[in-house]
Each structure stands twice: as structure tokens, then as C-alpha cells.
Structure 1
Amino acid sequence: MRTIDKLLGAHIKLAPVLVKRAPTLTLAFDARCKSRLAATLDSGEEVALLLPRGTVLRDGDVLVADDGGLVRVVAAPESVLVVRAPDVLTLTRAAYHLGNRHTPVEVGTDYLKLEYDPVLADMLKRLGALVDQVEMPFQPETGAYGGGHRHGHDETFAEDYALAQQVYGEHHGHAHHDHAHSHGHAHDHDHGDCDSSCGHDHGHGHHHAHR
């Protein structure tokens, strides 16, 4: 089994024909966050990824195997929400609330894209955004999520959390609280092979509802 252990930097220019002929490795975003991975090339060949910790692969990246062979990364289509809005202010508000929840987001000139989540979809619609569920490659912004921790004593988080929980409750037919108090306890964790930009939530919050 070949080992893939190097990512070519963007400054390294290869002949287009070499990149085009390279076997491809199609991965969803979650898998592209992992520096240690047993994977299968689109040709059927099994390989082992042993990349530097913190590596997040993007569509079009070129990898080098231990035998010198090249492999081209392809972002797999996955279930995502594409968010648009009738005006810039609404789209900005949508981005603010998603950022408040440390949600990985792909930012376009007139859209936002995030992993499919029915609760977030309803929250975004309440803000006035237009939300479509589609199958598309997902390439969010990287390196800006601070490890994905939620800080429960942040007022803006508490407001956003309460809104999301209200939507979640309506989804499941439960009556919910009038207001929520967050007692968050953030701890340091070893994130293993997943870069902080994967946006995973490791916070430990205790939320109490009061009528």
C-alpha cells in the first residue's frame, strides 16, 4: 500500500498534463480535515494518508506519494445548504448568526454554504434568508473557528442558542422555555487528526430552562 505524505504548495507549478493524468482521491469535507486516513483512490487503489497534523485538503490540491507519484484531490458532492438573501443586510445577519455558532461556512460573492442542518435551515429562514438543500462540493473557510468551542457565558451565543433551541423544539413538537441560561464550561481537548477548522464542537454547556 502506498503512503501519501506530502501536499504540494500552491507556489509549486506543475505541467497541467501531469496534474490531469494523476489519479484522483474524492473526499467529503470531514475526511479532508483528517491528517491520518485510510482511503481509496477513484481508481480503486487503497492508500494511507499521513499528512502533517492540521492539514485541510481542498479541491484541486496535489499530493505526493512515497513512490513519487501524484494524486489530485477532488471535493466530493455532499448534502449542503445554500443560503441567499434578498439584500446584503439579511445575508450579513445570516453570516453573523452562523459565525456565532462556530459553524463552518463557505463564503461566496452572493451566497453562504454550510453542511445540511434542518435546525439551522429554519433559523436562517426566520432571518429572511432563502435556503436550498442541494448536493454540492463543500469548501468552507479554514482556520477561523478557534477550535469550535462554544463559550456559554457569551450573551450573543445565549441568544442564538435560544433561537436555535426554539426552532429545534418546534421541529420535534415540544413546548420549550421562555428564556435560557447558559452555564458553559470550556475545556482544552486533544483534537487528534482533525484540524480546528473542521469546526467540531467540544464545549460542555449546561443549559437550564425557566418558565
Structure 2
Amino acid sequence: MRTLDKRIAPNVKLAASLVARAPTLTLAYDARCKSRLAATLDTGEDVAVLLPRGTVLRDGDVLVADDGALVRVAAAPETVLLVCAADPLTLMRAAYHLGNRHTPVEIGDGYLKLEADPVLADMLRRLGTRVEEARAPFQPEAGAYGGGHKHGHDATFAEDYALAQQVFGEHHGHSHSHDHDHQHGPGCTHGHHGHDHH
């Protein structure tokens, strides 16, 4: 059994003819979120997928097998909710409430798409949206800092938190580690713009 253990970075340009000849691995979203799984190529060949933890495969990604062969990733059609609204504000409110629940959402021109869930469908209808169940590939937004959604107990939380702090510091004009003691008050030499450091 071949092992798919490398993903070619999305910014690397490959010859279209190489990718077109590559066999396809068609997976639903939940399988594309797993870094380790047994899968079957569209040709019928069984393969093992062993990627770095936290890797989320997207439609069009290219994987490399342990023998150097390329495999193209395709998003499988699955049961999803298509959410539309009569006006942009209603759709934005729906997106806000879904994000508040940490729900993976695909954002398109005039629509939201999410995994089928009757409770969320009811909530979205109560917010004034039109909700239809459909079969379609699902490609939710990636996390704001490149990875999936993380919680404080995940092994990569410290990395994500440090990156978020760096971005925050760049945006607010100051950045520093919180691993040292420093005083805040009248003698403080860096601005805080009304926010606290914890």
C-alpha cells in the first residue's frame, strides 16, 4: 500500500499535464481534516494518508506518495445547507451567529454553506434566511491564522497564540513578550489604547 505523506504547497505551480494525469482522492470535508487515514483513490487503489497533524486538505491540493507519484485531492459532494438571504445584513448576521458557534462555513457570493444540521437550520430560518439542503462539495474557510480552529488544550495552541499576539502587536504598533515582569501605570513607556494584558 502506498503512503501519501507530503502535500505540495498551494503556491507551488505544477505542470498542468502532470496534475491532470494524477489519480484523484475524493474525500468529504471530515475526512480531509484527518491527518491520518486509510483511503481509496478513485482508481480503486487503497492508500494510507499520513500528513502533519492539523493539515486540512482542500479541493485541488496535490499530495506526493512515498514512491514520488502525485495524487490530486477532490472535495466529495456531501449533504450541506445552502443559506441565502434577501439582504446582505441578514446573511452577515447568520455568518456572525455561525462563527460564534465555531461552525465551519464556506462563504460564497451571496450564500453561506455548512454541514447539514437541523438545529442550525432552524436557528438560521429564525434569523430570516432561506435554508435549503443540497448535495455539494464543502470548502469552509480556513482559520484566520492558517490552521483550523484551536482550543487552549491543543498541542499547537501556544504557536497560534504567539502568532495572534504578533499580528495584534503589529496592528497596534507595539509587540512584546509577556514572559517578563513589567509595570503598567504612570511610568509605563508603551501605549495600551485601553486594553489590558493578561
Bucket of the pairwise TM-score, normalised by the shorter protein = 0.7 to 0.9
1:93 matched to which residue of 2? Answer: 93
List per-residue Cα deviations over 1:50-96 (Å, max 9, x = no partner): 11111100001000001000000000000000100000110011001
The share of aligned pairs that are identical, in percent, is 72
1:76 matched to which residue of 2? Answer: 76
1:26 matched to which residue of 2? Answer: 26
List per-residue Cα deviations over 1:73-126 (Å, max 9, x = no partner): 000000000100000110011001111111000011211000001111111111
State the one-letter code of the partner of 1:5.
D
Distance 2:37 2:117 in 1: 25
Q: CA deviation at 1:190?
A: 6.6
Distance 2:96 2:13 in 1: 37
SS of 2:143's equivalent in the other structure is coil
1:103 aligns with 2:68: no
Q: CA deviation at 1:189?
A: 5.5
Q: What does residue range 120-159 of structure 1 map to in structure 2 within 5 Å?
A: 120-144=120-144, 146-147=149-150
Aligned residues: 153
Q: Report 1 or 2 for greater relative contact order, CA contacts < 8 Å, sequence distance ≥ 6.
A: 1
Q: What does residue range 156-171 of structure 1 map to in structure 2 within 5 Å?
A: none
SS of 2:102's equivalent in the other structure is coil
Q: CA deviation at 1:47?
A: 0.6
Assess, with a 3 A threshold, how the Cα gap between structure 1 residues 65 and 114 changes in structure 2: closer, same or farther: same
Using the size of structure 1 for normalisation, the TM-score is 0.69
State the one-letter code of the partner of 2:68.
G
Where does structure 1 differ by over 6 angstroms across 4 or more consecutive aligned residues? none
Q: Where does structure 1 lack aligned partners over 5 or more consecutive residues?
A: 150-186, 192-211
Assess, with a 3 A threshold, how the Cα gap between structure 1 residues 4 and 146 changes in structure 2: closer, same or farther: closer
Using the size of structure 2 for normalisation, the TM-score is 0.74
CA RMSD of aligned residues (A): 1.6
SS of 1:72's equivalent in the other structure is strand
